[in-house]
Amino acid sequence: MPSITAHASMASRNLLAAPRTASFSTSCLRFALPPKGKASQAGPPARGQKSLHLKKSARPRDTGKRPALGERKMLRKRIVLSNTNALEVHGMKDLNGKNLRAEAVKGAVVGLPEPVVDSLRAVEAFKTTQGWNMFRRPATLMRKESLQIAAFVDDVEAAVGKKTVRKIIVGDRASGKSTLLLQGLAMAFLRNWVVINIPEAKDLVIGHTEYAPLPGSNPTQYTQDAYTSNLLSQIARSNSAVLSKYCITTDHKLSILLPPSTTLAKLAELGANTPELSWPIFTALWTELTQPDRPPIMLAIDGVGHIMNNSAYLSADAQLVHAHDLALVRHFVDHLSGRTTLPNGGIVLAATSGSNQPASPALEFSIQLAEARAKNPIDLPNWNPYKTVDQRSLQSLKDVDVLKLNGLSKEEARAIMEYYAASGMLRRTVDERLVSETWTLAGNGNIGELEKGSVRLRM
Amino acid sequence: MATVVKRLVSYSWQCPRRIAPRYTPTSAIPWQRPFSSTIRPFKDDKSDLREEWKELIEDLQEMDPETFKNAIESGGGMEIDKDDMDLEELSEFDIEPPEPKQKIGFWGDGEEELGADEDYYGDDISALGHGELEQHRELREYARLAAWELPLLSKLAKPFEPPSKATPLRFRYTTYLGENHPAAKKVVVEFCASDMPNLTPQQKDKLIKLAGVRYNPSTDIVKMSCEMFETQAQNKRYLADTINNLLAEARDEKDTFADVPFDFRHHKPKVRHEFPKEWFLTPARKQYLETKRQQQLEKDAALETKGKLIHGAKIIEEALVNQLAAMPVPELVEVAPTRGRGKQRLR
């Protein structure tokens, strides 16, 4: 490599050595570092010398007390079931196991007995958006559809071959779908059924709870241990009376030793306390519940639209996991679709949501199809083949029937408005005129709107 | 340059002239009346005219009326003496050169087609006025046509014959009444898919699938257009060929397209909302509503008499009264006199 320094005299004359700047360019000047001022040349102040320090004024800080850990969530999720300022309604009947379809409760507002309320609270059947906090104690209107569910309960118990009723509850926003689900659960509790309720399907699929592949499953399924253990604890708390009647009958080959006198309630509690074993214990509990001479089962889920699509979980090869590949969801969907029946009979209820429903074309179309099938089984709508659809969901919902919730009738509206007035929440005379007016303004008796228009709205 | 000057002249014609060129000034210094509105006094030459007229009338009187008559009968002009037509001398074959063109005027310099400068005699309206008149005449001509000629067109009218099964194609052409227009060559054809002859349902389905977005499922009509070619006839030919090809393909059993679903995503059916029949306020319905309202009133009245009608406000009042009654009455306790040793403040 020739060195320029060896021929210094030549290098200076070399064209290449000349400074290669475009004669008219101003870039160098513009991008050059700013010239150093005199202050920076002086260096830091000498030791012992004083220099001016201007402190930045501190921002005014919010000195208010922060909410404690989990306090916000507690406030958000708090269920208030009583209002001591509301009046007690005299002459209101309570629902019990025998009067589910009695004449006295048809179209009337009935109270929920204390133990049922506790159980319902344990399975998180009450929602914050519902108006329980405005009345003295929880009470519901036995509307036409509630009586239909009561009829299903009776059917299941009366059927010889142990019937499984599968229904999707659909209806407009605030038409009382979740409340109907709650009524179904209450009836099941009253009849000493085993109730398993998934209060919000969204919690299962949005990736907020831990998941792990289920060993030995093909295609891979995923268990959600934390959620399952919580579910088991809910089952144990809400069904303790029923579950403690039965002991385990088979060896479930769990990694912990179970004494033969273990009751099912104990088993569920065990699962609640050991999340890593929650899924095997859940399956063991399910096996026990499906043994002969066990009570019927009520399976319920709210916001079913969430589990009719891909979940937010990722598989090992970074693909979205389909919701039906989650073990718990699959367990529910198998029963909803009728792939698995309940050997002791029971009801599988799934409610859609009007306010928090992700777009699920499969569910939408299945509902349409079911409604058309109920009307006329020959003339069925066709799926638009140019729309993308989740085939698995479509398959699973192929022959599920819907329970459509319409508005209240005027008689039902009158009953509930009389209840409002008797509770001291409606300062008006409940006559036909007021009922008619409110009923119409509530979109032909949509119960949520009716409540909003008569109790919540203060004029 | 000359054009501008010429135009200037033409505009100046529209203004009243100062100098009328019909007369020659009698004196060396012309008499000028620049702002006068009366007629100029011209030289009186009417006496000469009178003499000329007299001469002409006499000549006409001398003419033999027979000559006119013969001329009219023979169909030609007056007889010409043929003896005089002999050409004997060479010089008689010479054709006189045409008269030199009229001298081009000052204003037409450089633009010979404009011709000589015209004289204006102050007896005409402006070019603008002529244009207006021309337009008016044209309008009148068309009005005459509309009044007299158009009714005669009804003689040419043919009775309408609805298209038959044999003619399922409907072509549409556009005319711009003789004007040139880029869309004048466009041809549109419409046909009903069910009207096409000799198609099995499967073939018809294939035709619809092949037609794609040109098919309207609400009306069952395929609509195609062509303006690719220069002339209307070519475009129509192309459309006809396309339809023939479509039909041939539809009849081709090799691939029936049975596995391809219909794609009607291009079509959005129009939603029509109709007033519900049940909502019409017929006398019967009015009667029904009236009785229903009456029944409601009676029902409320009956409940009121039984004391079962629920008044919200009254219930609250009663409850408040009951609450007050249920509250234990606070007992009055005698306050023991203080016997403290502390200083008593007097006031």
Q: Is residue B263 part of a domain?
A: no
What is the pLDDT averaged over residues A99-107? 95
The pLDDT confidence band at residue B10, using thresholds 50, 70 and 90, is: low
Looking at the fold, whether B207 and B243 belong to one and the same domain comes out as yes
Q: In the block, which residue shows the tokens 């009444």?
A: B177
- Give SS3 for A417: helix
Percent of chain B with pLDDT over 70: 75
Domain range enclosing B113: 1-14+102-147
Contact B261 A386 (CB under 8 A): yes
What are the DSSP calls for B148-209, one per residue?
A: IIGGGGGGG--------TT---EEEE---TT---GGGG-EEEEEEGGGSTT--HHHHHHHHH
Of A386, A426, A427, which is closest to B263 when you measure between CB atoms?
Answer: A386
Least confident of A13-17, A324-328, B8-12, B89-93: A13-17
The pLDDT confidence band at residue B1, using thresholds 50, 70 and 90, is: very low
Looking at the fold, whether B112 and B10 belong to one and the same domain comes out as yes
Percent of chain A with pLDDT over 70: 93
Listed in sequence order, the DSSP H helices in A123-252 are 144-158, 177-190, 202-205, 225-238, 240-243
First to last CA, chain B: 124
Looking at the fold, whether B181 and B244 belong to one and the same domain comes out as yes
Which chain A residues are closer than 8 Å to B313 by Cβ?
A: 427-429
A435 pLDDT above the threshold of 50? yes
Mean pLDDT of chain A: 91
Which of B300, B303, B310, B318 is the best substitution to test chain A (most A C-beta atoms within 10 A)? B310
Looking at the fold, whether B140 and B2 belong to one and the same domain comes out as yes
Task: Tell me, yes or no, if A458 comes closer than 8 A to chain B by beta carbon.
Answer: no
A459 pLDDT above the threshold of 80? no
Q: Which of B225, B251, B277 is the last residue of a domain?
A: B251
Contact A420 B312 (CB under 8 A): yes
Looking at the fold, whether B3 and B141 belong to one and the same domain comes out as yes
pLDDT tens column, A45-75: 778 877 788 888 878 888 888 899 999 999 9
Residue B257: C-alpha distances to residues A388, B74, B201 (Å) = 21, 87, 12
What is the pLDDT averaged over residues A313-336? 97
Looking at the fold, whether B142 and B188 belong to one and the same domain comes out as no
Looking at the fold, whether B174 and B246 belong to one and the same domain comes out as yes
pLDDT tens column, A262-305: 999 999 999 999 999 999 999 999 999 999 999 999 999 999 99
The pLDDT confidence band at residue A2, using thresholds 50, 70 and 90, is: very low
Give the nearest chain A residue to B322 (CA atoms). Answer: A87
For chain B, the domain total comes to: 2
Looking at the fold, whether B114 and B175 belong to one and the same domain comes out as no
Looking at the fold, whether B179 and B244 belong to one and the same domain comes out as yes
Which of B294, B315, B318 is the best substitution to test chain A (most A C-beta atoms within 10 A)? B315
CATH (domain of B220): 3.30.160.20
A21 pLDDT above the threshold of 60? no
Count CB atoms within 10 A of the CB of residue B124.
Answer: 11
Identity of residue A194: V
pLDDT tens column, B139-149: 999 999 999 99
Residue in A231, A188, A253, A401 with CA at minimum distance from that of residue A327: A231
Mean pLDDT of chain B: 83
- What pLDDT does B15 receive? 54
Contact A422 B310 (CB under 8 A): yes
Residue in B164, B280, B266, B160 with CA at minimum distance from that of residue B223: B266
Q: Is residue B181 part of a domain?
A: yes
- What pLDDT does A246 receive? 95
Task: Tell me, yes or no, if B20 comes closer than 8 A to chain A by beta carbon.
Answer: no
Looking at the fold, whether B7 and B121 belong to one and the same domain comes out as yes
Residue in A249, A244, A255, A243 with CA at minimum distance from that of residue A280: A255
Q: Check the CA dihedral A449-A453-A455-A457 and report its sign.
A: positive
**Do strands A194-198 and A297-302 pair parallel, antiparallel, or not at all (unpaired)?**
parallel
Q: Which of B209, B235, B251 is the last residue of a domain?
A: B251
Query: What residue spans define the domains of chain A?
Result: 159-405, 410-456
- The token pair at A371 is 């409604």
B5 pLDDT above the threshold of 70? no
A202 pLDDT above the threshold of 50? yes
Q: Is residue B196 part of a domain?
A: yes
Give the nearest chain B residue to A425 (CA atoms). Answer: B312
- The token pair at B330 is 């606070």
The pLDDT confidence band at residue B333, using thresholds 50, 70 and 90, is: confident
Continuous segment of H or E residues that includes residue B134: helix B127-144
Percent of chain A with pLDDT over 90: 79
Count CB atoms within 10 A of the CB of residue B19.
Answer: 11
Looking at the fold, whether B116 and B3 belong to one and the same domain comes out as yes
pLDDT tens column, B94-124: 677 666 666 777 777 777 777 777 777 888 8
Contact A433 B312 (CB under 8 A): no
Task: Tell me, yes or no, if B263 comes closer than 8 A to chain A by beta carbon.
Answer: yes
Task: Tell me, yes or no, if A420 comes closer than 8 A to chain B by beta carbon.
Answer: yes
Q: Which of B251, B272, B287 is the last residue of a domain?
A: B251
Give the nearest chain B residue to A421 (CA atoms). Answer: B312
The pLDDT confidence band at residue A161, using thresholds 50, 70 and 90, is: confident
> B176: which strand partners?
none
Task: Tell me, yes or no, if B297 comes closer than 8 A to chain A by beta carbon.
Answer: yes
Of B297, B299, B315, which is closest to A424 when you measure between CB atoms?
Answer: B315
Q: Is residue B113 part of a domain?
A: yes
Cβ burial of B9 (10 Å; 0-12, 13-18, 19+) is middle
Please enumerate in sequence order all residues whose Cβ is within 8 A of that of A284, keeping only pairs 6 or more positions apart, or say none: A248, A252, A254, A267
- What pLDDT does A164 receive? 95
d(CA A120, CA A216): 36
- What pLDDT does A4 receive? 45
Looking at the fold, whether B137 and B6 belong to one and the same domain comes out as yes
